[in-house]
Amino acid sequence: MTINIDNAKFYARELRRADADFSGEIDSEQEIKQALQLILEGRPIDELPQKYQRILRQFVDTQSHKDTAFNDIIDAPEVEAAVAELSKHYRTQEDLLQDFVYGTNNMNSKNIAQADVAPKIDSVASAASGRTEITSFADLLQDIAKTIPEIWAHYKTAKIDAATGRPLGDDNNTFSETVSYVMFQAINNNDRQTFDQVWDWARANIYHDSASLRRVYSINKRENIDAEARDYLAAWRYVGQGSALSQQLGKHTGVFQYQWDPNDPSVWFDGYDAAPDADILIAYTLLLADKKWGSTSGNKNYKGLALQILNDVWQSCVLSIRTGGAEVALKLNEHVWDTNIKNASTPNPAATASFANGQTTISFHQPYSSYGVHSLALADFADTYQSITIQAEKACAVKLMFQGKGGQPDYACDYNLKPGENIVPISAFKERHTSGDWNYKSPAVRIPGKATLDNFAMQSDRAGVILTITDIHLNRKTVAAPAAEHLFISANNKGSNVFNLSYFMPFALAEFSKVDRAHDWGRLFNESYKNVDAALSRAVPYRDAKPGGREYRSNGVLVPDWNAFTVEGLTSAYGTWDSFASGEAQDTHLSSWDALRLYTWAAYDYVQNGNAQSKTLLDKAGKFFADELAKNNWIYNAYNVDGTLPENNRRGAQSKSTPFGMGIALAVFCARDDQANALKCYKLLKENYTAGHFTTDADDYFTSNLIAFALNLFKAKYGI
């Protein structure tokens, strides 16, 4: 075991963490400096005060779990000078470690070696770490060529079950995204054995058309029920044995179909729906596999299965939306779409006093769906004759909710719908007192008055029910004509108006347009970039959802994590997934793990296809990341859309133990041939590199994959 002297700076940072372990024994930066000075004066470690012994042993022992997420408490040159001096007093690094950690040697003149046997710091660092010093871009390329097979070998050992081929995500669960990332890495590493093993597992265990998913476990019925689909899309979550979710679900494992539990409305699990970004990337890797290895039959009919997936992605996950048809001042997120991209619904000529310009149909297989209202005064609903007209194809109970802005009360009602047209009077809405509680127990019926609203949501208690809003009757009439139709990739396969811009993979869509002429992937490519531009140029500010939260305007580079469409046709941030999924206030101003992947995908597209739209986005991102690197010596994992850092390390923004943001930036620097910043970024990443992984969590799959994608982009671009 050796001391890695080039990480002395990290050891010093770890001392701040160690302060908690010592119950506050480390009182100040000065104490640490005093401890180092005592050692430099030749004091035997066992003669030092106990506190200093523990401090100094911690100083060395932390090399195996260093984390750079702490502020410097000693200037790096000062630490390096101290360690350099220490190295002069020991014949070997092992002697020094023994003395610091175990106290077996005394640091005094008896043990002092000749000063000339101690190497320079840089040489000691390289020898101790086994790393080659990286001083040029040529060194970087050489090191990347050596590192790629190391990280792939580690990943296969740590994150793929050798017996079954199941790729492991967080907490022993598997996501369709996990499958897609591993298949992409396998293609990049020309590893057909792993590719086929993972693909075979996925086909048997998470695809809707597989025999194992013909019946899936229902949460509220506590039994297996018939699954909804027989398509070529993957269920987005497979619950692994021993995971926290498995414990919650009675130790059941596998894929769970969403069910809302009316007796406990907080209980819902959604593992069966598709996450189309995974399906898109899987289809892309299958097309690459066909080019590389050829297609045969069964699961090795790569191209045939890719085309089946693409057909179902287009039919179920690519949505059309026709915005407009409402008085803009009301800004109701009323929209018209159909999932087959045929003809949008036409205006209802009978609805002369209707707010809506036509029918809006949405499938409620999902927990709930929302319509952004954006500062609609409830005085518009004050007259008791006003109503929402809903058509249900099946009898069901539906919950309707208006959500208040800035901490104001919410208003909701429970309403039993029968097949056919049902009118829900506005007077049925009751004040909701507990945020996140779908059980409305208040007996009082209140007409909301002049409160301001942000959201209108509906939830059905039955899967498979399609509800159609035909009219929302207000005091105003339709004044605007429907605008042009837009295309976007939905968040799921259930008609959601929510979407994630990082589900757009331009390099994949460019490939699809060459092989799948049945669907207009080129149009979707262009429409998706329009959606990106709309998010970056949005006139309405993004907001922090907490009461009194500030507003943020995009810096023209960063897109929000989750989005939706407004009546004006612009994209509107919907909220980060952690707040959205838990029912908390929906922040709309964060650009983090969900959004930042977009820049890696644009980098792949520009390197492979040279598309001008991807270059434009990369030029903006490249300047932002270069400025951040110059200012902070790091690229963070999350930002507000205006480029500032979120408060309280939200979304792990400043965590350097999982350097996700650095991996994104590295791909951008590669695509733009920004060699200076690529070199700086990579050298910083390598400071965290140990035994095939770049994180202090050796099993982190998300960061590991995005960094691997960046390194493989260098391989593709520079032919290493």
Write out pLDDT tens, residues 63-88.
333 333 323 333 445 445 555 555 55
Tens digit of pLDDT for each residue in 636-693?
999 999 999 998 888 888 888 899 999 999 999 999 999 999 999 999 999 889 878 8
Instruction: Tell whether 428 and 323 lie within a shared domain.
Output: yes
Q: Is 702 helix (H, G, I), strand (E, B) or coil?
A: helix
Instruction: Tell whether 643 and 510 lie within a shared domain.
Output: yes
Residue 151 lies in a domain: no
Instruction: Tell whether 677 and 551 lie within a shared domain.
Output: yes
Instruction: Tell whether 660 and 641 lie within a shared domain.
Output: yes
Tens digit of pLDDT for each residue in 323-365?
543 332 222 222 222 222 222 233 322 222 222 322 233 322 2
Residue 664 lies in a domain: yes
Instruction: Tell whether 284 and 339 lie within a shared domain.
Output: no
Predicted confidence at residue 487, as pLDDT, reads 81
Q: Any idea which of 123-127, 613-617, 626-630, 657-661 has the lowest mean pLDDT?
A: 123-127
Residue 570 lies in a domain: no
Predicted confidence at residue 55, as pLDDT, reads 59
Residue 156 lies in a domain: no
Instruction: Tell whether 522 and 658 lie within a shared domain.
Output: yes
Q: Any idea which of 48-52, 509-513, 627-631 has the lowest mean pLDDT?
A: 48-52
pLDDT at 372 over 80: no
Instruction: Tell whether 599 and 640 lie within a shared domain.
Output: yes
Average pLDDT, integer, range 229-241: 89
Predicted confidence at residue 538, as pLDDT, reads 79
Q: Is 614 helix (H, G, I), strand (E, B) or coil?
A: helix
Last residue of a domain, one of 469, 489, 509: 489
Instruction: Tell whether 325 and 310 lie within a shared domain.
Output: no
Q: Which domain does 693 fall in, by range?
A: 499-559+592-718
DSSP-H helix ranges across 592-697: 597-609, 612-632, 660-671, 675-686
Residue 551 — pLDDT band, cuts 50, 70, 90? confident
CATH of the domain at 251: 1.50.10.10
How many domains would you assign to the chain? Answer: 4
More confident residue, 83 or 567: 83
Predicted confidence at residue 612, as pLDDT, reads 97
Instruction: Tell whether 520 and 643 lie within a shared domain.
Output: yes
pTM over 0.75: no
Structure tokens at 392: 């249900």
Residue 569 lies in a domain: no
Neighbours of 720 (CB within 10 A): 16
Last residue of a domain, one of 427, 461, 489: 489
Instruction: Tell whether 122 and 208 lie within a shared domain.
Output: no
Predicted confidence at residue 518, as pLDDT, reads 94
Average pLDDT, integer, range 364-384: 31
Predicted confidence at residue 524, as pLDDT, reads 96
Residue 22 lies in a domain: yes
Those residues with Cβ within 8 angstroms of residue 592's Cβ, 6 or more apart along the chain or in another chain: 561, 576, 637, 638, 639, 646, 650, 651, 653
Residue 269 lies in a domain: yes
CATH of the domain at 395: 2.60.120
Average pLDDT, integer, range 238-254: 80
Share of the chain above pLDDT 90, in %: 37
Nearest to 688 by CA among 658, 653, 712: 658
Instruction: Tell whether 518 and 646 lie within a shared domain.
Output: yes
Residue 574 lies in a domain: no
Query: Mean pLDDT, the chain, as a whole number?
Result: 68
pLDDT at 717 over 90: yes
Instruction: Tell whether 334 and 420 lie within a shared domain.
Output: yes
pLDDT at 603 over 60: yes
Residue 143 — pLDDT band, cuts 50, 70, 90? very high
pLDDT at 389 over 70: no
pLDDT at 627 over 90: yes
Whether 184 and 212 have beta carbons less than 8 Å apart is answered as no
